[in-house]
């Protein structure tokens, strides 16, 4: 079954132009070509990143948070109560007054104790400022590192300055070691985010869609990523360094509008939507799949750009 699913998923008609097969990508004459099975390596890389994340959050982020004045607030846990716990998980986290009275009778306790139990139980679901700081620190560290490394890997490449160069030799384009490791790390990082989705700080649906979409279309514009400045702004916001936070948010906003509103649609999307038509009159299925994801990504950029503009407007006019 796995072999059949694998052959269906990597069917040449999905990924390659006409009269082109995977057999054409055998390494030869010192040239190395990308191979589908290399993507499976991103799974163990994701677990390596999770280990790195654990140690960096524990032994770097926590001492840094303490140095910035962020305290670890310990919340009081409610007394174990299977009836109330079951109701909290399966029915409602905010029961009505009549429901609280019914639960009080069922548990043979006062209404006040039930109300206090639910209040404490809800508080446990809210991540502490220290926990938010740890997660922001990890994302900041990775985004900053990937941006610097991405620039180092790309600055001397011809396609960094001329986007048409990305299509030279298509589809028989070799894979550089720097490209391999960069993509493995990036995709592994987004796998690790999916693995920790249940324990990380809860996000709005638009953020989850954005991260899921960027997981598929990753690295298209992350070399110019300004999101490490957003994570840094979050960190200083948790530490109540207001001026530093504001400055970093302005830097992030400028970076966001330049990269997401100008470079991405007029440079990247042009290279993925328009330029491939010069090399193939019959686009493969992957052309529509990846460009569909990139267009969704651009739609999220427009939505987030609107929200960022509203925040900047309040910042300027309402202080």
User: d(Cα 100, Cα 89) in Å, to the nearest integer?
Assistant: 15
Distances from the Cα of 269 to the Cα of 148, 214, 230, angstroms: 23, 14, 24
Average pLDDT over residues 13-32: 86
Q: Would you state the structure tokens that stand for residue 71, as one six-digit string? A: 């305290």
Better-predicted residue by pLDDT, 214 or 25: 25
What's the average model confidence in pLDDT over 144-166? 90
Q: Where are the domains of the chain?
A: 82-125, 128-318
Q: How far apart are CA 88 and CA 121, in angstroms?
A: 8
263-275 pLDDT tens trace: 999 999 999 998 8
- Cβ contacts of residue 88 below 8 Å, gap of 6+? 118, 121
For 209, counting Cβ atoms within 10 Å of its Cβ (0-12 exposed, 13-18 middle, 19+ buried), the class is middle
**Exposed / middle / buried, residue 127 (Cβ in 10 Å: 0-12, 13-18, 19+):** middle
Which distant-in-sequence residues (6+ apart) come within 8 Å of 142 by Cβ? 49, 189
Q: Share the mean pLDDT of the chain.
A: 85
Does domain 82-125 bear CATH number 3.40.50.920?
Answer: no
Predicted local confidence at residue 208, as pLDDT: 54
- What pLDDT score was predicted for residue 53? 95
pLDDT tens digit sequence for 208-221 = 555 555 554 444 44
Q: What is the pLDDT of residue 207?
A: 58
Question: What is the rounded average pLDDT of the residues 245-259?
Answer: 89
* pLDDT at residue 61, as a whole number: 94
Query: How many Cα atoms sit within 13 Å of 189 on the Cβ side?
Result: 19
The mean per-residue pLDDT over the stretch 231-237 comes to: 87
For residues 207-236, average pLDDT: 62
pLDDT digits (tens, 9 = 90+) for 46-86: 999 999 999 999 999 999 999 988 887 778 888 888 889 89
242 pLDDT higher than 90: no
- The answer to whether the CB of 284 falls within 8 A of the CB of 13 is yes
Mean pLDDT confidence for 92-120? 89
What Cα–Cα distance (Å) separates residue 235 from each residue in 140, 241, 270, 301? 9, 9, 35, 23
Q: Which residue has the higher pLDDT, 226 or 7?
A: 7
For the whole prediction, is pTM greater than 0.75?
A: yes
| Lookup: tokens for 262 | 């100008």
Please give the pLDDT value at position 319.
67
The reported pLDDT for the residue numbered 93 is: 85
Tell me what pLDDT residue 209 has.
Answer: 56
What is the pLDDT confidence band of residue 305, given thresholds at 50, 70 and 90?
Answer: very high
Quick: pLDDT tens for 136-145. Answer: 999 999 999 9
> What average pLDDT does this structure show over 18-25?
85
């Amino acid at each position: 079954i796995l072999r059949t699913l694998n052959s269906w998923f990597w069917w040449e008609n999905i990924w390659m132009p006409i009269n082109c097969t995977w057999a054409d990508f055998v390494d030869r004459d010192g040239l190395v070509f990308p191979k589908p099975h290399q993507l499976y390596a991103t799974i163990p890389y994701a677990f390596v990143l999770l280990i790195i994340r654990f140690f960096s959050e524990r032994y770097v982020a926590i001492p840094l948070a303490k140095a910035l004045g962020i305290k670890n607030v310990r919340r009081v846990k409610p007394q174990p109560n299977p009836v109330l716990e079951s109701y909290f998980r399966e029915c409602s986290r905010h029961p009505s007054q009549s429901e609280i009275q019914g639960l009080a009778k069922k548990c043979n306790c006062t209404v006040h104790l039930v109300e206090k139990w639910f209040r404490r139980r809800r508080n446990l679901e809210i991540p502490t400022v220290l926990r938010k700081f740890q997660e922001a620190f990890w994302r900041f560290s990775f985004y900053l590192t990937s941006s610097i490394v991405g620039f180092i890997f790309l600055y001397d490449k011809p396609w960094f300055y001329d986007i048409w160069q990305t299509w030279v030799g298509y589809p028989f384009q070799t894979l550089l070691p720097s490209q391999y490791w960069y993509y493995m790390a990036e995709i592994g990082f987004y796998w690790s985010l999916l693995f920790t989705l249940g324990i990380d700080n809860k996000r709005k649906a638009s953020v989850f869609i954005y991260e899921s979409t960027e997981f598929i279309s990753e690295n298209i514009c992350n070399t110019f990523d300004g999101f490490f400045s957003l994570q840094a702004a979050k960190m200083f916001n948790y530490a109540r360094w207001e001026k530093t936070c504001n400055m970093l948010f302005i830097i992030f906003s400028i970076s966001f509008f330049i990269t997401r509103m100008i470079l991405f649609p007029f440079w990247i999307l042009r290279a993925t939507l328009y330029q491939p038509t010069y090399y193939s009159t019959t686009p493969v299925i992957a052309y529509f799949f990846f460009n569909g994801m990139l267009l969704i990504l651009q739609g999220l950029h427009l939505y987030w750009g609107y929200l960022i503009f509203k925040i900047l407007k309040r910042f300027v006019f309402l202080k």
